[in-house]
Structure 1
Amino acid sequence: MSELILGIESSCDETGVALVRTREQGQAPELLAHALHSQIEMHQAYGGVVPELASRDHIRRVLPLTQSVLEQSGHALADVGLVAYTRGPGLAGALLVGAGVACALAAALDVPVLGVHHLEGHLLSPFLSADPPQFPFVALLVSGGHTQLMRVDGVGRYALLGETIDDAAGEAFDKSAKLMGLGYPGGPALARLAEEGDAQAFRLPRPLLHSGDLDFSFAGLKTAVLTQARKLGDELEARKADLAASTQAAIVDVLVKKTLAALQSTGLRRVVVAGGVGANRQLRSRLDAACAQRGVRVHYPELHLCTDNGAMIAMAAAMRVQAGLAQPQRDYLFDVKPRWALEEI
């Protein structure tokens, strides 16, 4: 029997709402509608996310977005059978907005509510695509402050293979961009500028590239970019595209090599890339080419679903329900978990 699930995402600087319909066992849930508001313009003046402003903006946006999603889908709020929200990880205040609204809506409708792990949402987001993966697979999670390699054998069956020991790939993009004066958000700006530069112009380190394990480290790369920018001095403006291209190449080299090593160590022939950095063109191109040579299938979320969004939260909730793993609550008491390891769910 199908059920409509409303998903709310508010972990950082995007407010996302979506409606999905569960289907028969073995069939991926169907995305009916979703809406997203990005706070990028608001935070640009500060060079990064201001938590208090983020929380206040979520309050303003979440109900209008919910109304928009219902109108798009042709459904009424009363049709919803479960409300899902991002419980963590993320900014505490921002998470509390989504959790509070979700529990209030669920209580008003007398339906259960379910807290979802943000990274599980990203992990399962490729199931929203036209070419969904099949279990098992290796997952490269490159979302914000997270860079992890996971073995995924099914919903809720995740084994950590490797993770960053300091800065994540997304942080390396953003911090390097800031050092080059590219503004906020830095990662996409650096990637756009890199298309105009020479990736071989500067010899930048590839931390842990030959470590023999599946862990990552990008803090040293950021320091190397700072050192190179200082060496260039007045020439930085003229060489900025080359430095951006060299920085991106270093990050992508590490991500691709570690992902291939994870495939080799597990013996799996399928890989999923999820999270904001998964939208990076160079990463997609390099990984697609390397995997094609090895007969490995690569799956990504649709480009517009790489960033934080409500669709991935509703999808993760639906898949947990279908797998019999969800424990929806009806007491409407809630908490949030700003720090929450994926292995703990």
Structure 2
Amino acid sequence: MGVKILAIETSCDETSAAVVADGVEVLSNIISSQVDVHRKFGGVVPEVASRKHLELINHVIKEALDQAGLDFGDLDAVAVTHGPGLVGALLVGVAAAKAVAFALDVPLIAVNHLEGHIYANFLVRPDLPFPLICLVVSGGHTDLVLVLHHGDYRLLGSTRDDAAGEAFDKVARVLELGYPGGPAIERLAREGNEEAIDFPRAYLDGLDFSFSGLKTAVLQYLHRCRQRGEEVNLADVAASFQKAVVDVLVDKTMEAARNYNCPTIILAGGVAANGRLRAALASRACQEGREVFYPPPVFCTDNAAMIGCAAYYKYLRGDLAPLTLNAVPGLPLLSF
């Protein structure tokens, strides 16, 4: 067993710790979700999330070490997400990681949360060929990233308003499907006709995204139906909405792959677990002679294993963080 890294992820509402060896061997990956806590609010409450992280962080770290069969003294480095995310939540993880690194006198590695999502793919396929296009889709982010090599990224496009996952959550709330919205809409959409309602697609210049108008269109459709006393087929609404989101995501991703001559595309983030998106992107890529890869669902949502994978490559480059490291809630994805 080579380089063993304890990784910590607390950017939103999952308290997670993992031990990853050599960037590929997941010795443990403990995820304590707060979904049940936030469900009654219809979304994540930052202050509540921070307090839950405080309650759970030490227990989760201990469980990660126990499951890996290791002691603190067996660790070679400690990695942590320091942004982007909820500042209070991030601070809990950063403080814990700094304390462990200081006590053990081992290197501290700072990982960008988006970088972690990208590396969820390398966690299961370390031999992915460069260059590649990565579509990062989650509740807080919708980004197209050109990955030229390990640690060398170019942000090609982002959402100008709602992220795709955020749009899923907001539409699910209106449809009274509960939180989180993405899985609920996907389940309901399987029963509907995705061609039933022609919701708009926003195709901005370049590779940026916009989903706020689509969300508003769904609200207006429901409002008009209720005003007219028309029965609403919720499954059709869910399926048509999901198709509108997927169409734009796939079109923009394929445009990026063509523009930068990338034969390989990877998916990352919580929405990457969406089966409709996976199938549509794989189909389009196959038509153009490109390949699509995505991690298993457990590595799509927030988890510490992906942070440990990203940290390993930073460790090899000697890209270490000082003990003065702080949380950066708006941290951009830059070339490292």
Q: Where on the TM-score scale, by shorter chain, does this alignment land: which range? A: over 0.9
Q: Give the equivalent residue in structure 2 for 1:7.
A: 7
CA distance in 2, matches of 1:325, 1:168: 33
Residues 160 and 209 of structure 2 are in contact (CA less than 8 Å); yes or no, is this contact kept in structure 1? Answer: yes
Show CA shifts across 1:66-93 (max 9, x none): 2222122111111011111110011111
Q: What does 1:79-118 correspond to in 2, within 5 Å?
A: 79-118=74-113
Q: Which amino acid aligns with 1:2?
A: G
Q: Give the equivalent residue in structure 1 for 2:245.
A: 251
User: Displacement, 1:187?
Assistant: 1.6
**1:49 pairs with 41, 44, 49, which one?**
44
Q: Which amino acid aligns with 1:162?
A: G
Q: Give the equivalent residue in structure 2 for 1:142.
A: 137
CA distance in 2, matches of 1:206, 1:176: 15
Q: Within the alignment, does 1:225 sit opposite 2:236 as a pair?
A: no
**1:181 pairs with 157, 171, 176, which one?**
176
User: Displacement, 1:344?
Assistant: 6.3
Q: Give the equivalent residue in structure 2 for 1:119.
A: 114
Q: Give the equivalent residue in structure 2 for 1:337.
A: 328
* Structure 1: segments with no counterpart, 5+ residues: 23-27
Q: In the superposition, relative to structure 1, how do residues 236 and 289 fare at CA in structure 2: closer, same or farther (>3 Å)?
A: farther
Q: Which amino acid aligns with 2:236?
A: D
TM-score (norm 2): 0.95
Corresponding pairs, count:
335
Residues 24 and 126 of structure 2 are in contact (CA less than 8 Å); yes or no, is this contact kept in structure 1? Answer: no
User: Displacement, 1:288?
Assistant: 0.9
Show CA shifts across 1:255-309 (max 9, x none): 0111111111111100011000100000001111111122211111111110000
Residues 198 and 240 of structure 2 are in contact (CA less than 8 Å); yes or no, is this contact kept in structure 1? Answer: yes
Show CA shifts across 1:169-207 (max 9, x none): 111111111121212111211111111111011110011
Q: Give the equivalent residue in structure 2 for 1:154.
A: 149
**CA RMSD in angstroms, aligned pairs only:** 1.7
Q: Which amino acid aligns with 2:224?
A: K
Q: Which amino acid aligns with 2:16?
A: G
Percent identity reads 47
Q: In the superposition, relative to structure 1, how do residues 343 and 305 fare at CA in structure 2: closer, same or farther (>3 Å)?
A: same
Q: What does 1:280-295 correspond to in 2, within 5 Å?
A: 280-295=274-289
Q: In the superposition, relative to structure 1, how do residues 196 and 206 fare at CA in structure 2: closer, same or farther (>3 Å)?
A: same
Which deviates more from structure 2 when the two are superposed, residues 124-133 or residues 220-229?
A: 124-133
CA distance in 2, matches of 1:344, 1:55: 29
Q: What does 1:173-212 correspond to in 2, within 5 Å?
A: 173-208=168-203, 211-212=204-205
Q: Which amino acid aligns with 1:116?
A: V
* Structure 2: segments with no counterpart, 5+ residues: none
Show CA shifts across 1:199-238 (max 9, x none): 0111100111xx4521111110000000011122287875
CA distance in 1, matches of 2:191, 2:8: 38
Q: In the superposition, relative to structure 1, how do residues 292 and 325 fare at CA in structure 2: closer, same or farther (>3 Å)?
A: farther
TM-score (norm 1): 0.93
Q: Give the equivalent residue in structure 2 for 1:275.
A: 269
Q: Give the equivalent residue in structure 2 for 1:215.
A: 208
Q: In the superposition, relative to structure 1, how do residues 293 and 344 fare at CA in structure 2: closer, same or farther (>3 Å)?
A: closer
- SS of structure 1 residue aligned to 2:136: strand
Which deviates more from structure 2 when the two are superposed, residues 124-133 or residues 93-102?
A: 124-133
Q: Give the equivalent residue in structure 2 for 1:25.
A: none
Residues 151 and 335 of structure 2 are in contact (CA less than 8 Å); yes or no, is this contact kept in structure 1? Answer: no
**1:63 pairs with 46, 58, 62, which one?**
58
Which deviates more from structure 2 when the two are superposed, residues 124-133 or residues 278-287?
A: 124-133
CA distance in 2, matches of 1:237, 1:335: 52
Which deviates more from structure 2 when the two are superposed, residues 108-117 or residues 197-206?
A: 108-117
User: Displacement, 1:328?
Assistant: 3.5
Residues 131 and 299 of structure 1 are in contact (CA less than 8 Å); yes or no, is this contact kept in structure 2? Answer: no
User: Displacement, 1:110?
Assistant: 1.7
User: Displacement, 1:245?
Assistant: 0.4
